[in-house]
Amino acid sequence: MSDHQRRVILAKLGLDGHDRGIKVVARILRDAGMEVIYLGLRQTTASIVAAAEEEDADAIGLSMHNAGHLTLGPKMAEAITAAGLDIPLIIGGIVPDEDVEELMNAGIAAVLGPGAAAEEVVATVQDAISARDKA
Amino acid sequence: MTSSSDAATALFESAIKGERRSLGKLLTAIERGGRQAEIIADLAHQVSGNTHVVGITGAPGSGKSTLTGRLLKLFSEAGDKLAVLAVDPSSPLTGGAILGDRIRMDDLAGEESFIRSMATRGHSGGLALAVPAAIQLFDAVGYEPVIIETVGVGQVEVDVAGAADTTVVVVTPGMGDAVQANKAGLLEVADIFVVNKSDRPGASDARRDLELMLDLGHVSGLEQMTGYRPPIIMANSLDGIGADEVLDAIKSHAEYLRNSGKIHIRRKERLVMEIQNRVELLIGSTASDILESELGAGYIANVLNRKISPAEAAKSIVGSILTKK
């Protein structure tokens, strides 16, 4: 399984239009040798789940910059579980430190903040996928 | 081996029943290659050969994905359960890829349709190696039609014409003059032309150059040989203008292929090409193994010392493959 080409979905949920960060992350993951399925703006939990099924994704990355993470993050995690999918969900963007624990408790695999270096982004995604594969 | 065969068969049966996640996993296995991919391709081949395959090709940024999105909507509205295979390039440096075709399609997809993004993974020619097997798989589980969107191509990436029943070539204003239009390559394989972004200056010039190119095919006798003149459709896919005409043209072309019996010729040619490709792959991978072995090291040393030429080494290697059981 380890030589398997990693496929990662990147998306933004709802009306959050700040997409500079997600484009940078897409490029970082591409340059780390991953296949990024870029869904872009205005996605719904249902459209992301459908794409994850069709694309057989190894991880889902959500970019959030409008303070909706405590509402939308757990909703996305629930939608993934409800669909019977076992795919790690990673949130990147503006998330205050004190909210991270709540997100992790809600089933989000990792949270990346604005200071995250490229290596950290790649390692976080890889670790989340490996943890899923081992489970 | 039996366990991987059982796993593939179970996934295949569940995909035929409509389980999308199983189809997603089968496509991944096909892309990965190896024994599992062969088993799936064998299963799919037995029950495929019916769906109409439409190829959409053209230069980067010409509007292939946007047009594909429009067609997705029109086919879905007409009750068709279609699949789209959207191919984007892999990085030659890292093997990574950004597959961004879905952003122009997702809103337009019906619930029954299935979109899969695929990276070329080092294959040139505009498609990925796994495309023919993926088409057969979509066909086998009941998708009709199947649309393949190629990577952005230049003049010579015409693989799609071998893989598709109907090839749609998307051009945009400013693609060059009449001499460009008469060069051999991509424009020759079109069954339908779409002049996209037709609101831009130069759109009617592009149309005129294409018409002229087709007229010369009439003069040279090419048109009589093929018995078909591709239509040229002016479109503005962003606004959805012209998409219904493209849909009608695809249906007319499918009908033409059926009525003239050419569909059988095309499909036979496609299977012959697939056999040929697989033969080359098998021989190629065996040759790589030999080159990495002790025997290969000997050939390489002799070529380096100028004792034998690369061509002689290649002949000897192929010879040793052919005599090996």
Question: What count of other Cβ atoms lies within 10 Å of the Cβ of residue B71?
Answer: 27
Which domains are assigned to chain A? 7-134 (3.40.50.280)
Quote the longest CA-to-CA distance of chain A: 37
B30-44, B70-84, B173-187: range with lowest mean pLDDT? B173-187
Cβ distance A54 to B28 less than 8 Å, yes or no, reads no
pLDDT value at residue A1 = 38
B97 with B106: CB under 8 angstroms? Answer: no
Every domain of chain B and the residues it spans: 1-46, 49-260, 274-323
pLDDT tens for each residue of B144-167? 999 999 998 877 777 888 899 999
Q: How far apart are CA B273 and CA B265, in angstroms?
A: 12
Q: Is A34 on the interface with B (CB under 8 A)?
A: yes
Q: Is the dihedral of CA B45, B47, B53, B55 positive or negative?
A: negative
Q: Is B318 on the interface with A (CB under 8 A)?
A: no
The residue-averaged pLDDT of A40-49 equals: 94
- Residue B24 has its nearest CB partner, among A34, A38, A54, at A54
CA distance A48 to chain B (A): 10
Q: How far is Cα of residue B115 from the mean position of the Cα atoms in its chain? A: 15
Between A125 and B159, whose confidence is greater? A125
B131 with B115: CB under 8 angstroms? Answer: no
Q: Which of residues 65-84 of A touch B (CB under 8 A)?
A: 84
- Predicted TM-score of the model (pTM): 0.90
pLDDT value at residue B152 = 86
Kindly tell me if the per-residue pLDDT of A92 is higher than 70. yes
Q: Which residues of A touch B32 (CB under 8 A)?
A: 4-5
For A33, name the nearest residue in chain B, comparing CA atoms only.
Answer: B96
Cβ distance B98 to A7 less than 8 Å, yes or no, reads no
> Helix B131-140 crosses helix B20-32 at what angle (to 10 degrees)?
150
- Residue A38 has its nearest CB partner, among B23, B100, B119, at B100
pLDDT tens for each residue of B4-54? 788 999 999 999 999 999 999 999 999 998 889 999 999 999 999 889 999
Cβ distance A37 to B102 less than 8 Å, yes or no, reads yes
Q: Which of residues 19-58 of B touch A (CB under 8 A)?
A: 20-21, 23-25, 27-28, 31-32
E-state strands within B107-222 = 114-119, 146-149, 166-171, 192-195
CATH H-level superfamily of B49-260: P-loop containing nucleotide triphosphate hydrolases (3.40.50.300)
Q: Is A51 on the interface with B (CB under 8 A)?
A: yes
The residue-averaged pLDDT of A1-15 equals: 84
CA distance A67 to chain B (A): 24
Confidence tier at A2 by pLDDT (50, 70, 90): very low
What is the average pLDDT value for chain B, to the nearest integer? Answer: 90
Residue for token pair 């337009």: B108
> Helix A45-55 crosses helix A69-82 at what angle (to 10 degrees)?
40
> Pick from B180, B88, B167, B166: which is nearest to B126 by CA?
B88
Q: How far apart are CA A61 and CA A111, in angstroms?
A: 10
The residue-averaged pLDDT of A63-87 equals: 95
B150 with B86: CB under 8 angstroms? Answer: no
| Contacts for B265 with CB less than 8 Å, ≥ 6 apart | none
pLDDT value at residue B179 = 67
The residue-averaged pLDDT of A5-28 equals: 94
Mapped onto helix, strand or coil, the DSSP state of residue B201 is coil
| Contacts for B103 with CB less than 8 Å, ≥ 6 apart | A38, A39, A40, A41, B65
For A85, name the nearest residue in chain B, comparing CA atoms only.
Answer: B21
pLDDT tens for each residue of B269-309? 989 988 988 888 889 889 999 999 999 999 999 999 999 99
**pLDDT more than 70, % of chain B:** 97
What is the token pair recorded at B290?
């030999």
Kindly tell me if the per-residue pLDDT of B94 is higher than 70. yes
Kindly tell me if the per-residue pLDDT of B325 is higher than 70. no
Cβ distance B20 to A53 less than 8 Å, yes or no, reads yes
Q: Which of the residues A8, A12, A23, A35 would you substitute to probe the B interface, choosing the one with the greatest number of B C-beta atoms within 10 Å?
A: A35
Q: Is A131 on the interface with B (CB under 8 A)?
A: no
pLDDT value at residue B153 = 82
> Pick from A52, A65, A59: which is nearest to A21 by CA?
A65
pLDDT value at residue A135 = 77
Q: Is A35 on the interface with B (CB under 8 A)?
A: yes
Q: How far apart are CA B181 and CA B126, in angstroms?
A: 20
A114 with A93: CB under 8 angstroms? Answer: yes
pLDDT value at residue B314 = 94
Q: How far apart are CA A35 and CA B65, in angstroms?
A: 18
Q: How many CA atoms lie within 13 A of A86 on its CB side?
A: 7
Q: Which residues of A touch B20 (CB under 8 A)?
A: 50, 53-54
Q: Is B90 on the interface with A (CB under 8 A)?
A: yes
Q: How far apart are CA B249 and CA B166, in angstroms?
A: 10
Q: Encode B45-64: b = buried (16+ Cβ within 10 Å), e = exposed.
A: beebeebbbbbbbbbeebbb
> Pick from A132, A80, A74, A83: which is nearest to A105 by CA?
A74
Q: Which of the residues A1, A2, A3, A5 would you substitute to probe the B interface, choosing the one with the greatest number of B C-beta atoms within 10 Å?
A: A5
DSSP A85: -
For B138, name the nearest residue in chain A, comparing CA atoms only.
Answer: A54
B55 with B161: CB under 8 angstroms? Answer: yes
Beta bridge partners, B268, equal: none
The residue-averaged pLDDT of B261-266 equals: 93
